[in-house]
Amino acid sequence: MKKIIVLLLLLLGMNQNGSYLVPFQLRAQTVNPVRNSSGALNPVRDLSLSGTNPAAEQRGIISNGVKEDVLANGLKIIIQQDPFAPLSMFQIWYHAGSVNEEVGKTGLSHLLEHMMFKGTPKYGAKTFSRIIQRVGGIDNAGTNKDYVFYYQKLAPEHLHLSIELEADRMQNLILDPKETLSERDVIMEERRLRYEDDPQNLVYEEVVATAFKNHPYRRPVIGWMSDIKNITRDDLYNYYKKYYVPNNAFIIAVGNIDKDSLITKIKKEFNDIPKGPEIKKINLDEPEQNGEKRVIVKKEAELPYILIAYKAPNVLSDDNASLEVLAEILSGGKSARIYKNLIDEKQLALSAGAEYDSLYKYPFLFYLYAQALPGKTIDEVEKALYEEIEKIKNEPPSEREVQKAKNQIEAEFIMGQDSIYLQAQMLGMFEAIGGWRLKDKYLEEIRKVTSDDVQRIAKKYLIEDKRTVGILIPIKNQDKTTETQRHRGGNEY
């Protein structure tokens, strides 16, 4: 859970125009920031992943201090009171991530997120943020594969501003054609900086696109460059009208707030917004992978890098908790197996670790990664990573090692509840995936994991025929090389 908490904290520093949730490279690890900078679940498994669900049809449900309500138009409200919080957090989430985009239209979700700050007839461009800042608040947004969310952090007495502003831009966004073209250029430059000019992120993008044949998770959240440059104002408008509707959204509010009065205010502003067409759940099966896939990326870089991705289930699976513990055993700090063996003892890697991405609506990936030290080959590093997996397959980790990993996961999860931002974000992410009550089941499942469970899931998921391997081969920048030789008087060219 450390990776989730760190990612969410990083989001607090995003640009005012909003920024997409980078799925891998921003998730800091104790052993390495990949970039030098990024049962018990059965009762809720049948919940719909978008729109309302049967359980939510009950009004005014209160569970574990969380109150939920659903408006007649399908908008769900989830409120958690924290009497000790000096500020409050208001968030609105839409089931409108990159998974919802059509082929040839990748990047729509992220670009629309940016355009949501460009104004309505009532509140002009940048007015939204200025109103929030005027009362000492902050606002921002984020997009990932499954959803987009917008948030404001401000004093409880000013929550009415968030409600009024979000209700307005849910239905009245201008989407000026000139602003659309301008912001599209901004996104294209963002893509160049984050991917085209970032070798490790480029490897990540290629690995994910190669690992999945059919599922839309293969597409990058920011979109492919060829798609971004062809997005039109009409594309954005149609996407906005389809997905930014009450029955495809939910509200999260956390802080020292009066739940009933807040619900009354939300109903006043949102109740008259008409319900949109039913959003059908994505039902695409990913073909079985029957052999290892490999992809090579040649890019200007200092050192070779490897990213190994195994198909893995999401948080709704019975195996989720065991995979979380396995990732922590492999990569939960400097005493964890990968850091200790590849970095400290064998001195093969400058950075290395493991990552399990479980907080998605659909099954995703479990990673191993490493950057080779100068003088070491990527083949040596790859072999050493596999050896760590084989050790667990051949002999289960000790109960002490498993308990240490479980303690670390629990401590990180609990510490995250100290922040109202993280409280709201956790509720939102679990709600987007399958219901906010999943959050309360998470630690219960972690505590049940045994050493035999860890060995079993390593044998089940971390197998050669189910993995995709991406390797970065560094190349020299020819322009820089040529320029240097010119200054030296070289005539080779």
CA atoms within 13 A on the CB side of 212: 20
pTM: 0.86
> Percentage of residues in the chain with pLDDT exceeding 70?
84
User: In the prediction, which pLDDT does 64 show?
Assistant: 67
The closest alpha carbon to 22, from 294, 280, 205, belongs to: 205
108 torsion bin: left (phi>0), alpha (psi -120 to 50), beta (else)? alpha
User: In the prediction, which pLDDT does 486 show?
Assistant: 36
The closest alpha carbon to 368, from 388, 391, 346, belongs to: 388
What are 386's two structure tokens? 């596999």
In the residue annotation, 113 being an active-site residue is answered as yes
- Tell me whether strands 249-255 and 305-312 are parallel, antiparallel or unpaired: unpaired
Going by C-beta distance under 8 Å and a sequence separation of 6 or more, which residues neighbour residue 28? 3, 6, 10, 38
CATH T-level fold of 293-475:
Cytochrome Bc1 Complex; Chain A, domain 1 (3.30.830)
In the chain, where does the domain assigned CATH 3.30.830.10 lie?
A: 2-270, 293-475
> Choosing from 68, 101, 113, 382, which is the catalytic residue?
113
| C-alpha dihedral (219, 225, 226, 227), degrees to nearest 10 | 50
Long-range contacts of 257-264 (CB under 8 A, 24+ apart): 257/79, 257/81, 257/88, 257/156, 257/159, 259/67, 259/79, 259/81, 262/79, 262/159, 263/67, 263/69, 263/77, 263/79
Query: Each residue of 469-490: b (16+ CB within 10 Å) or e?
Result: bbbbebeeeeeeeeeeeeeeee
User: In the prediction, which pLDDT does 443 show?
Assistant: 94
pLDDT in tens, 379-389: 999 999 999 99
Distance CA(357)–CA(399), nearest Å, equals 24
Rg for the chain (alpha carbons), in Å?
Answer: 23
- Which positions of the chain have pLDDT values less than 70? 1-64, 478-493
What are 456's two structure tokens? 């079993």
The closest alpha carbon to 88, from 167, 135, 158, belongs to: 158
Amino acid at 437: R
Distance CA(30)–CA(11), nearest Å, equals 18
What are 206's two structure tokens? 């290629």
Does domain 2-270 sit in CATH 3.30.830.10? yes
Going by C-beta distance under 8 Å and a sequence separation of 6 or more, which residues neighbour residue 109? 96, 97, 98, 100, 101, 143, 148, 221, 239
The closest alpha carbon to 198, from 483, 484, 472, belongs to: 472
